[in-house]
Amino acid sequence: MAKGHRSQIKRERNAQKDTRPSAKLSFARVSVTKACFVLDAIRGKGVTEALAILEYNPRYASSLVKKLLQSAIANAENNNGLKAENLYVAECYANKGPIMKRVRPRAQGRAYRIEKRMSHITLVLDEKK
């Protein structure tokens, strides 16, 4: 059990909170491996360069990540008062989400399981120094 008053505990927890602008997409209908190909391409890049990469990337996950990046930029401008041209992609990662299990009929009355995977994609921006 934590020591101290409830408000004090909340204050301490909020002091440790990350203040960098971010956006999160939960339950994206794309597997983690496929999302990571796109995320690896933009990690560490400036925001405008990352948007250009995502615009011309043929993968399905790039459309999801592009929307997510635009959301993170809007969060940075509105909530933190930062300029978009000074931002870069500090962190981006995909975590495993739930798996939808479906059944596919196969030969001789057998049934095979099909797993439709989901992921939670997180994108964190930071200001260039």
Nearest Cα neighbor of 116 from 95, 97, 100 is 100
Structural domains counted in the chain: 1
Residue 48: inside a domain:
yes
Residue 58: inside a domain:
yes
- Token pair recorded at residue 105: 């009929």
Domain that holds residue 56: 20-127
Going by C-beta distance under 8 Å and a sequence separation of 6 or more, which residues neighbour residue 7? none
CA 79/CA 32 separation, integer angstroms: 29
Q: Do the beta carbons of residue 36 and residue 30 sit within 8 Å?
A: no
Task: Give residue 83's identity as a one-letter amino acid code.
Answer: K
Residue 61: inside a domain:
yes
CATH code for position 87:
3.90.470.10
Q: What is the pLDDT of residues 56-86, one digit of tens each?
A: 999 999 999 999 999 999 999 999 899 999 9
Residue 110: inside a domain:
yes
Q: What is the pLDDT of residues 10-61, one digit of tens each?
A: 888 888 888 899 999 999 999 999 999 999 999 999 999 999 999 999 999 9
CA 126/CA 114 separation, integer angstroms: 39
Residue 9: inside a domain:
no
